[in-house]
């Protein structure tokens, strides 16, 4: 019996390292998934939407002790009702959240909460939670190894599994504390800005309904990274209801802008359902907006133009309505017809570089050499104000190519591919640019930067594949 026991111990111990590795990898995978935001989604950019985000968040940003010009609200295409920060002063909002929000006040509540994370430096402090959880993990592994070495591998595995559970519990408690802190900070920012917390509570109730639908019946949030919505509602209700701004309505003009942006977003990301949500019997501005995008994406240009004309009938000088009609004409193969509308849109909103990019695109699309000089000036001014628009660089590249300036055409393409995350193509274009641009010049140095960043991204991907 004794000899057979030793044989069993040796067999168990031989399997122990693989079980140990699997357990450690599972813990690290779970921890990484909790600590990191979702993988990068498609960024949705729109002048009117970004202007709305800027205006509705500015008082909250100032209340958080930050500068509005340094904080960005970025819209991601994702149906999930979610928002997050991932370092820096950037708040990411999913399109699903905007679609499900009933009013601007609800979105302001979400932004205020996320600014609590930014101002609290929570992403930077995440390492503290990870270190604490890792320390528990390491201790449990050492105890498990000691038990296994003493002839009790199953007991050792049990110790390790209990340790991993304790480590995850520690980390989740850390993140829940951060969420609660951001809730209270957000409430403070809303109060200082004179914005009601009613929308914040309404949105938590939406999340609570979602928890019910997903069968999350926990009585407490011990095993969750976020407090349950009911817990958050209870904690914040008294705070909000005592605030002087509790019954203060949202500025009607801001609310109207929100409903426009929400409708155009639904028309863009959910064109099949947009006409159901905004039937033709609805002659409001948001409904015309939603149907215009839905019809345009559904390849019904005449119907789309009819809806755009209905919008312009309500506000002939609105730059975003002019931009929409110009975009429909441009993308329907009528760039010349789009030019007057887009020129007027740029004149009415000279601080909106994305509208200028649409004008530059239309000028290039006419294929008239006489329009290239204007297009070049428009696009260079646009990238001077916003150099993160791949379409602007793509159009500039086409102009440089037609002018015979191949190195700068390659540089513009490198800029565009770099912004789109196409590292291999960006690297090739950057190298082509460097071969034809004088060394040491600003354009050469920019091409060199893109080449270095692209090469680093390719090396990182290669290493991941090997691992």
Residue 146: per-residue pLDDT: 62
State pTM to two decimals.
Answer: 0.79
Kindly tell me if the per-residue pLDDT of 178 is higher than 70. no
Considering only 174-178, 244-248, 301-305, 382-386, which range has the smallest mean pLDDT?
174-178
Domain residue ranges of the chain, discontinuous segments joined by +: 1-255, 256-466
Note the pLDDT tens digit of each residue in 97-118. Answer: 999 999 999 999 999 989 988 8
Note the pLDDT tens digit of each residue in 20-68. Answer: 444 444 444 444 444 444 445 789 999 999 999 999 999 999 999 999 9
How confident is the model over 271-297, as a mean pLDDT? 96
Percent share of the chain, pLDDT over 70 = 74
How confident is the model over 242-259, as a mean pLDDT? 95
Cα dihedral: 286, 292, 295, 298 (round 10): -100
Which residue has better confidence, 8 or 391? 391
Residue 390: per-residue pLDDT: 95
Note the pLDDT tens digit of each residue in 289-332. Answer: 999 999 999 999 999 999 999 999 999 999 999 999 999 999 99
Kindly tell me if the per-residue pLDDT of 15 is higher than 50. no
Residue 206: per-residue pLDDT: 80
Kindly tell me if the per-residue pLDDT of 3 is higher than 90. no
Considering only 146-150, 246-250, 314-318, 344-348, which range has the smallest mean pLDDT?
146-150
How confident is the model over 247-266, as a mean pLDDT? 97
Kindly tell me if the per-residue pLDDT of 213 is higher than 70. no
Residue 182: per-residue pLDDT: 83
Kindly tell me if the per-residue pLDDT of 227 is higher than 90. no
How confident is the model over 403-431, as a mean pLDDT? 96
Note the pLDDT tens digit of each residue in 123-165. Answer: 555 555 455 545 555 555 555 556 566 666 666 566 566 556 6
Q: How far apart are CA 129 and CA 174, in angstroms?
A: 6
Residue 303: per-residue pLDDT: 97
Average pLDDT score, the chain = 83
According to CATH, the superfamily of the domain at 256-466 is: Tetratricopeptide repeat domain (1.25.40.10)
Which residue has better confidence, 243 or 169? 243
Residue 5: per-residue pLDDT: 39
Residue 88: per-residue pLDDT: 82
Q: pLDDT grade, residue 180 (50/70/90)?
A: confident
Residue 118: per-residue pLDDT: 87
Residue 260: per-residue pLDDT: 98
Considering only 228-237, 255-264, 340-349, which range has the smallest mean pLDDT?
228-237
Residue 203: per-residue pLDDT: 87
Residue 175: per-residue pLDDT: 59
Which residue has better confidence, 360 or 119? 360
Which residue has better confidence, 261 or 143? 261
Note the pLDDT tens digit of each residue in 365-385. Answer: 999 999 999 999 999 999 999
Residue 59: per-residue pLDDT: 96
Kindly tell me if the per-residue pLDDT of 86 is higher than 90. no
């Amino acid at each position: 019996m004794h000899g057979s026991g030793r044989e069993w111990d040796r067999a168990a111990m031989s399997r122990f390292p693989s079980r140990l590795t699997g357990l450690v990898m599972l813990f690290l995978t779970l921890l990484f998934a909790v600590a990191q935001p979702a993988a990068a989604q498609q960024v949705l950019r729109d002048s009117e939407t970004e202007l709305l985000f800027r205006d509705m968040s500015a008082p909250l940003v100032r209340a958080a002790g930050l500068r509005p010009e340094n904080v960005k609200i970025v819209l991601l295409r994702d149906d999930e009702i979610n928002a997050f920060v991932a370092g820096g002063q950037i708040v990411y909002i999913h399109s699903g959240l905007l679609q499900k929000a009933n009013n601007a006040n609800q979105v302001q509540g979400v932004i205020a909460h996320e600014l609590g994370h930014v101002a609290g430096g929570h992403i930077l402090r995440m390492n503290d939670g990870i270190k604490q959880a890792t320390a528990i993990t390491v201790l449990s592994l050492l105890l498990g190894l000691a038990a296994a070495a003493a002839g009790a591998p199953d007991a050792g595995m049990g110790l390790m599994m209990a340790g991993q559970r304790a480590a995850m519990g520690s980390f989740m408690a850390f993140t829940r504390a951060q969420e609660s802190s951001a809730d209270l900070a957000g409430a403070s920012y809303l109060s200082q800005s004179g914005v009601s917390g009613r929308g914040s509570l309404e949105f938590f109730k939406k999340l609570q309904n979602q928890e019910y639908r997903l069968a999350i019946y926990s009585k407490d949030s011990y095993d969750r990274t976020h407090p349950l919505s009911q817990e958050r509602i209870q904690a914040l209700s008294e705070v909000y209801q005592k605030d002087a701004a509790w019954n203060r309505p949202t500025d009607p003009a801001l609310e109207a802008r929100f409903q426009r942006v929400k409708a155009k977003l639904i028309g863009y990301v959910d064109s099949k359902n947009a006409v159901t949500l905004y039937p033709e019997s609805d002659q409001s501005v948001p409904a015309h907006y939603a149907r215009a995008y839905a019809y345009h994406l559904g390849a019904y240009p005449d119907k789309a133009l009819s809806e755009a004309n209905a919008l312009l009938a309500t506000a002939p000088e609105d730059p975003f309505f002019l931009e929409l009609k110009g975009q429909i004409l441009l993308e329907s193969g009528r760039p010349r017809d789009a030019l007057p509308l887009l020129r007027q849109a740029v004149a009415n909103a000279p601080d909106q570089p994305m509208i200028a990019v649409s004008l530059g695109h239309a000028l290039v699309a006419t294929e008239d050499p006489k329009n290239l000089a204007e297009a070049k000036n428009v696009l260079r001014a646009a990238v001077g104000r916003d150099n993160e628009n791949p379409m602007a660089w793509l159009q500039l590249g086409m102009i440089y190519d037609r002018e015979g300036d191949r190195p700068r055409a390659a540089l513009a393409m490198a800029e565009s591919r770099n912004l789109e995350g196409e590292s291999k193509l960006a690297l090739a274009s950057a190298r082509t640019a460097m071969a034809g641009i004088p060394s040491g010049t600003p354009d050469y140095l920019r091409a060199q930067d893109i080449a270095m960043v692209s090469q680093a991204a390719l090396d990182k991907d290669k290493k991941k594949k090997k691992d």
